Amino acid sequence: MTRKAAIIGGGVIGGGWTARFVLNGWDVNVFDPAPGAERNVEIMLANARLAVPSLSDGPMPPEGRVCFSATMAEALEGAEYVQESVSERLELKHAVYAQMQQASPDILIGSSTSGFKAVDLQKGAVAPANIIVAHPFTPVYLLPLCEISASAANPPEIIERTKKIVTEIGMFPLVMRKEIDAFIGSRFLEAVWREALWMLKDGVATTEEIDDAIRMSFGLRWAQMGLFENYRIAGGEAGMRHFMAQFGPALKWPWTKLTDVPEFNDELVDLVAGQSDAQSGHMHIRNLERLRDQNLVGILRALKDRNVGAGRVLNEHDARRRLALPDPVPDTAKPLEMARMQVLPGWIDYNGHMTESRYYFANSETVDAFLRLIGAGMDYVAAGHSYYSAETHIRHLGEAKLGDRLTGTLQIISADQKRFRSFVRIMKGDVCVATVEQLCLHVDIGTGKPVAAAPEVWGKLQAIAKAHAGLPMPEGAGRAVGQARA
Amino acid sequence: MTRKAAIIGGGVIGGGWTARFVLNGWDVNVFDPAPGAERNVEIMLANARLAVPSLSDGPMPPEGRVCFSATMAEALEGAEYVQESVSERLELKHAVYAQMQQASPDILIGSSTSGFKAVDLQKGAVAPANIIVAHPFTPVYLLPLCEISASAANPPEIIERTKKIVTEIGMFPLVMRKEIDAFIGSRFLEAVWREALWMLKDGVATTEEIDDAIRMSFGLRWAQMGLFENYRIAGGEAGMRHFMAQFGPALKWPWTKLTDVPEFNDELVDLVAGQSDAQSGHMHIRNLERLRDQNLVGILRALKDRNVGAGRVLNEHDARRRLALPDPVPDTAKPLEMARMQVLPGWIDYNGHMTESRYYFANSETVDAFLRLIGAGMDYVAAGHSYYSAETHIRHLGEAKLGDRLTGTLQIISADQKRFRSFVRIMKGDVCVATVEQLCLHVDIGTGKPVAAAPEVWGKLQAIAKAHAGLPMPEGAGRAVGQARA
């Protein structure tokens, strides 16, 4: 049977919880009497539907149903869990819990509070044992952290049930060892926020400069390892103890306006270094460095695909480099060298070999460059015509590995105004690792039907086809799969 | 002519600078009399060679040469720029600058200091105008930020030259508006570091818990937008002013041990909200949300590929979901439905269509699932045998778009102990968008030669081949590219 959660409060946080539960197959009742709450939840859900399925490598479970309830009691009906996401006012939260526990005294209540301790939330409650902190981070449907903070009034089974439920909707539960205001995440956020406000107030930096500083540096580090593992690596082979010796003195320096600091002594060094050893000591510093670098490369590639932040810096760097390269002048009397590639981490399988579909990708890069050469590039496509691939035959003749440099050469086997047949060789130095024969049709994008190419495109294509007519027919062209060799 | 930089200090930072310059085609002279510096630089360079080329979408420039110099004067010979990366002791830095300016009074000196102001570095120098702060972040060869901080003694052309040089090696120069100790990045790092030490000392969390808290939450946010743009989004449609109204009071609460805070008044709100408008006000909040989500999806996918941090949480979530799914029982008397897929953001081209090589990828997913079904999965490969694709014929019959759900069905056309011919249909509902015919050879991985499959694998394959022998030969099987239709 479909499980059901109640979400009380339909703001950015409540809407995010709703989306996370629903996309994990739970039904959700939402209760929020504020005008606009329903619209807001729908917006969060629409955002989540665009993003969350891209993270799953299997089919998504059938979406749960969202009901907007008219009363608290109606919302709790049939729910096994309720997530409270009302404003951060303690008396409001107390009133809400009283209503909940009147309607359903045994229900497990997780609070989205980013600051109040469970012991404070539970004050005056009928059943304090059932109220616990389950603190998420925006956007709730994407970020995995859920800080779970309990008081002495919460029995272990309540903590376990909360952990289990948030795990089932894909979150990472982190149970606090001690109750403190604002838990772990928001304490850091608050420290950074305070420092940032000082910088703005003192005119040291603007909001944009601060954002750039963060996303071009430690933001990238922190997305994949946290604070300590990165510092362990920065300490080099000498590790955490060395890092602390180097940077310990800074604690006394005016490096922040925030100046209440723990005493820097051997005890503190031992504590930090010992915990860091327990956390990462099983990995050699060289392996940690490479793991970090691989993670950073993956994150930077993702940002590059989206042309944002550090990714835009990389794209601009590529563009500068391209400008500095001499323009290739293709020699049409032999197969044209159209593309130079390097086998990237995303191109390889678990054995370190280039995965088979990437040979087709290498062909596409080669043919795309050829299309630009004959004047059928992006602008031509934007104007309504394009070459579409109709069929493709690939022969795998060798292997390429991570980092290998490949070139793609292209020979025109035949061409007319409506189509061409190309034969691409993917070369690793002098070795041909794959051949790709392809039939491309010239299509009117509007109708989807083959039509004659624009005269200037056909002129360029025809000239190359004539020059290539004198080349020998490539070995392997015209083959069907499994056909005996000639 | 190849340009040349001198790197003084061969630690983690100096080694990182060396790698960045060299991989951007500069020659580098390194000077560091410490034992082990040369080895350390080589290690950084080896790390960088593994990571940096993966970030380039064009060919890398030819690598520059690294020379280890015996003296400071030798290191500066022919260099147009020197990056000082010695320990954070002011008197040491002063001594080093004196040596540099004796050898080459006009050379531009950037300092890697993470704390000292330019005005402090310049004290007592022969040519203070030529000494400037150029502060990078570890790993220097991957992270783009370079904070440039100048004093009144630095003329504008020195700032411009420094910006230009670090831009040429792919960095993002951020010029400080005012001189403060520790600039922007390290001030935040110091505030977080102080807060983290308090948490450890108070026994609230361990280093590992703190790292997890960061990388499962705001670390992901900060890799792509910074602090303020994320908060602007969290404020919802009401934006930054609403966010500040909600969280302003927390400044007075004990949410951090760091308690010197700026006064929260209208002036501060106006300043922050005004700058945030200037930064992001041209984008509607809905667009900002989607941009953020797309970035997070990209980062999370990258971490998922590497099974690290939030990516591991996602993989574990997938695995739990798979366990909850009923085991598919393939009906061998018809083409086997082997894979279900959804068209992901990384699969589409600029027009939103699934890119052609992804049809081959969809075939690989289908065939891989079939190989697991007949007992030739990862364990079989690890034991030394595998099926290798020899040739492949793809017909493009329709189009798939972002989010489309696809299934891959597989029919065995023929099989013997050393090979099989498969015919895969990529289906979008009832519509076949592509067919992929493939010949796979059973290979001894050690010798690379075709050999007979293990009896239990061949037994399973044979049974399916027999069941499929009664199916009609698929339309399009056995075709060569461009062959006339039957």
| DSSP assignments along B20-44, one per residue | HHHHTT-EEEEE--STTHHHHHHHH
Question: d(Cα A311, Cα B144) in Å, to the nearest integer?
Answer: 10
Query: How confident is the model at residue B82, as a pLDDT?
Result: 98
Q: Closest CB to B185: pick one of A177, A218, A479.
A: A218
**Better pLDDT: B467 or A260:** B467
List pLDDT tens digits, range B125-169: 999 999 999 999 999 999 999 999 999 999 999 999 999 999 999
Considering only CB atoms, which chain A residues are within 8 Å of B351?
Answer: 381
Q: Is the pLDDT of residue B58 over 70?
A: no
Asked if A250 and B115 come within 8 Å (Cβ–Cβ), the reply is yes
A479: DSSP letter = P
Query: How confident is the model at residue B353, as a pLDDT?
Result: 84
The pLDDT confidence band at residue B313, using thresholds 50, 70 and 90, is: confident
Please tell me the distance in Å from B430's CA to the nearest CA on chain A: 18
Q: Point out which residues pair with A401 in neighbouring strands.
A: A353
Q: Summarize the confidence of residues B364-387 as an average pLDDT.
A: 90
Q: Summarize the confidence of residues B313-333 as an average pLDDT.
A: 69
Asked if A290 and B168 come within 8 Å (Cβ–Cβ), the reply is no
Least confidently predicted of A14-23, A150-159, B340-349, B453-462: B340-349
Q: Is the pLDDT of residue B269 over 90?
A: no
Helices (H), B149-184: 156-168
Low-confidence ranges of chain A (pLDDT < 70): 57-59, 248-262, 264, 321-330, 345-346, 350-351, 485-486
Specify the residue for token string 């997070």.
B296
Nearest to B360 by CA among A465, A57, A290, A362: A362
Q: Touching check for B219 and chain A: CB below 8 Å?
A: yes
Q: Which two tokens stand for residue B160?
A: 């411009």
The pLDDT confidence band at residue B350, using thresholds 50, 70 and 90, is: low
Which range is most confident: A279-288, B82-91, B197-206? B82-91
Q: Touching check for B300 and chain A: CB below 8 Å?
A: yes
Q: Touching check for A327 and chain B: CB below 8 Å?
A: no
Contact A238, B174 (CB under 8 A): no
Nearest to A137 by CA among A182, A96, A198, A79: A182
Query: How confident is the model at residue B316, as a pLDDT?
Result: 82
3-state secondary structure of A287: helix
The residue in chain B having the minimum alpha-carbon distance to the alpha carbon of residue A392 is B394
Question: d(Cα B203, Cα B209) in Å, to the nearest integer?
Answer: 11
Instruction: Write the DSSP string, A395-433.
Output: EE-S--BTT-EEEEEEEEEEEETTEEEEEEEEEETTEEE
Query: How confident is the model at residue A318, as a pLDDT?
Result: 76
Q: Touching check for B193 and chain A: CB below 8 Å?
A: yes
Question: d(Cα B239, Cα B236) in Å, to the nearest integer?
Answer: 5
Q: Which two tokens stand for residue B244?
A: 């500040």
Q: Touching check for A355 and chain B: CB below 8 Å?
A: yes
Q: Point out which residues pair with A408 in neighbouring strands.
A: A339, A426
For an interface test with B, the pick among A200, A220, A338 (most B C-beta atoms closer than 10 Å) comes out as A220
The pLDDT confidence band at residue B120, using thresholds 50, 70 and 90, is: very high
Q: Which two tokens stand for residue B15?
A: 């080694």
Query: How confident is the model at residue A326, as a pLDDT?
Result: 53
Contact A461, A374 (CB under 8 A): yes
Query: How confident is the model at residue B403, as a pLDDT?
Result: 78
Q: Which two tokens stand for residue B4?
A: 């040349």
Please tell me the distance in Å from A281's CA to the nearest CA on chain B: 12
The pLDDT confidence band at residue B172, using thresholds 50, 70 and 90, is: very high
Considering only CB atoms, which chain B residues are within 8 Å of A480?
Answer: 393, 478-480, 483
Query: How confident is the model at residue B60, as a pLDDT?
Result: 73
Query: How confident is the model at residue B108, as a pLDDT?
Result: 98
Query: How confident is the model at residue A8, as a pLDDT?
Result: 98
The residue in chain A having the minimum alpha-carbon distance to the alpha carbon of residue B423 is A481
**Better pLDDT: A479 or B285:** A479
Q: Is the pLDDT of residue B274 over 90?
A: no
Residue type, B369: A
For A:381-400, CB contacts with B below 8 A are 381, 388-396
Q: Which domains does chain B have, with CATH numbers?
A: 4-175 (3.40.50.720), 216-325 (no CATH), 329-468 (3.10.129.10)
Contact B465, B414 (CB under 8 A): yes
